[in-house]
Amino acid sequence: MPEGAPDNPACEHCSKPKTVHVTEIKAGQKIEKHLCKDCPFVNEGVGAGAGGKSHQPINELLSNFVLAHSGAGASTAQKKCEVCGMTWAKFKQGGLLGCENDYSLFEEQLTPLLKRAHEGSTHHTGKVPTRRRGDGAVRKRPNMNRLRRELTRAVEAEDYEAAARLRDQIAETEGN
Amino acid sequence: MKLSDLTGKAGEWLRGSGPMSETVISSRIRLARNVKGYTFLTTASRKHRRELEGRIRETILDADLAPKTLYVDLDQATELDRELLVERHLISRHHAAAEGARGVAVGSEEDLSIMVNEEDHLRLQVLKSGLQLDEAWEQINDVDDALEEQLEFSFHPRFGYLTACPTNVGTGIRVSVMLHLPALKLLGEIEKVFRAAKDMKLAVRGLYGEGTEATGDFYQVSNQTTLGKDEQELISDFKHTTIPKIIDYEHQARRTLRSERATALDDIVFRALGVLRSARLMSSEEALKLLSHLRLGIHLGRVKDIEIQAVNELVLMTQPAHLQKLMDKKLEGDDRKAARAEFIRYKLKAV
């Protein structure tokens, strides 16, 4: 049967229809596995992280990711971080990145993964390190929608102390 | 301050006096940070790992983060000491079991702990008793700022604080609330809480976090999303929506037990007390389960001569490492169970 033929009748380990195609790179050898989605072997290899710590959520994400992008391009396979030596294949095995450069190097591959992990978000909103805030100005302009939502919730929860604080904060922000 | 100073008393988070403490055991916030200029620990050499550990240790000790700070070199610490720190929620199981240069700094009140060279270079944690998320955030944010004056953290304009695992990237925050939900469990409604939590993208874990079974009806609820939601929004969701809903639900269940199943409730509570006061051999799972029922009985006014704090302390002190530290000897099998039973009888002023 030619590789990647669509009518694969059964998983390698049980008789269910196979829907997951896992490509592993072990010692430079490309190993392809064809499994059903419920098969415990799906997570094998992609599973156990560095130091033996299991990252269940990231492993699930990664196996889903592999499912959606089974034909990951050759350019991805060849990319290797010049700072830490991380490759996409190694990351898929361990679930951990090697250095901050990996986030830029694999930005394209990481984006769909981050979306799945973080309810669709791909951009940070929140605290920014002081030394990046420049002139020591306010860390971040308060988000008015958020403040109003919080105020409603505080009133509903009868937390009047918080409500008063939020009201003042809203007034102050509007005044600016 | 020495590690042995910790054994005999319970930490701040077990005072049992914080807001909503009949249901909320503790509130915890942790931040994951990495130091710019070093690779993550996944790929760091032994030399860099050691160098980082030394640099971070010095920064923490110089920063005056708590009235007194204890630093434990975990590479040198005994297995029992590491286990003790896990039982007190000051380090993770993973950190205890790992190898190589790593440590933990603990503030004298035990509300602050900083793991050095865990999965990320730094894991800052503030732990408070009861529902005190705003207080925990304020404190941890200050600690983060203080450390950041000396250490530049890896930060990306789009991805935020960079972490070894992409599931922590962005704010690097994990907000966890430890809840005691015995009535929901007794009424068979706990599964509903799990399902609701899952729908809200929250994780529910046992007393000792990742990979541990919920024992004794203690459940830890925490966020999974760290990107695209700012810290205060996340905390506010927990404080005003998620946690109050679960608490209400548990309190309703407690009221139902008291009004509609009073005899069955008393049976469970006083059986628990009876066994705790008489048993000669006690496993830690059994102790947790019985202490959970006793705790419920105290809150509902069925048991009047024992305080909730005493039960909280017993939950901690009957864990294996604590018990062995208290008895000052290595205990296994039935010896350990006998020591646990004896300690409980002593604390509950039984025969």
Q: Note whether B226 contacts A118, CB cutoff 8 Å.
A: yes
Are the Cβ atoms of B236 and A118 closer than 8 angstroms? no
Kindly list the residues from chain B whose CB atom is less than 8 angstroms away from the CB atom of residue A153: 236, 240-241
Which residue from A minimizes the CA distance to B137? Answer: A127
pLDDT at B282: 96
Q: Indicate the DSSP class of residue B282.
A: -
Tell me how far apart the terminal alpha carbons of chain B are, to the nearest angstrom: 36
Mean per-residue pLDDT pooled into runs of 10, chain A (176 residues):
41 49 48 49 33 52 58 70 94 93 94 92 90 50 66 85 85 66
Contact B167 A55 (CB under 8 A): yes
pLDDT digit string, tens, across residues B149-165: 999 999 999 999 999 99
**ipTM reported for the complex, 2 dp:** 0.87
Residue B45: its pLDDT value, please?
A: 93
Q: In Å, how far is B263's CA from the nearest CA of chain A?
A: 34
What average pLDDT does chain B have?
92
Contact between residue B129 and residue B179 where contact means Cβ atoms under 8 Å apart: no
**C-beta atoms of B230 and A126 within 8 A:** yes
- Which residue of A lies nearest to B158 if distances are taken between CA atoms? A123
Which segments of chain A are extended strands (E)?
20-26, 29-35
* Chain pair A-B, CB pairs under 8 angstroms: 143
8 Å CB contact between A49 and A33: no
At residue A41, the pLDDT reads 38
**Among candidates A121, A119, A65, A52, which has minimal Cα distance to A92?**
A65
**pLDDT (0 to 100) of residue A21:** 52
Contacts of A154 in chain B (CB under 8 A): 240
Which pair of tokens denotes residue B4? Answer: 């042995």
Mutate to test the interface with A, among B34, B40, B174 (most CBs of A within 10 A): B40
Interface test with A, best of B35, B142, B165, B205 (most A CBs within 10 A): B165
Closest residue to B39, CB basis, from A61, A98, A157 = A98
pLDDT for residue A161:
85
Of B29-33, B52-56, B189-193, least confident by mean pLDDT is B189-193
Could you tell me if A69 and B14 are in contact, meaning their C-beta atoms sit under 8 angstroms apart?
Answer: no
B85-119 pLDDT, tens per residue? Answer: 999 999 999 999 999 999 999 998 889 999 999 99
pLDDT of residue A159: 85
- Please state the pTM of the whole predicted model: 0.78
Phi, psi of B204 (to 5 degrees): -115, 125
Contacts of A58 in chain B (CB under 8 A): 165-167
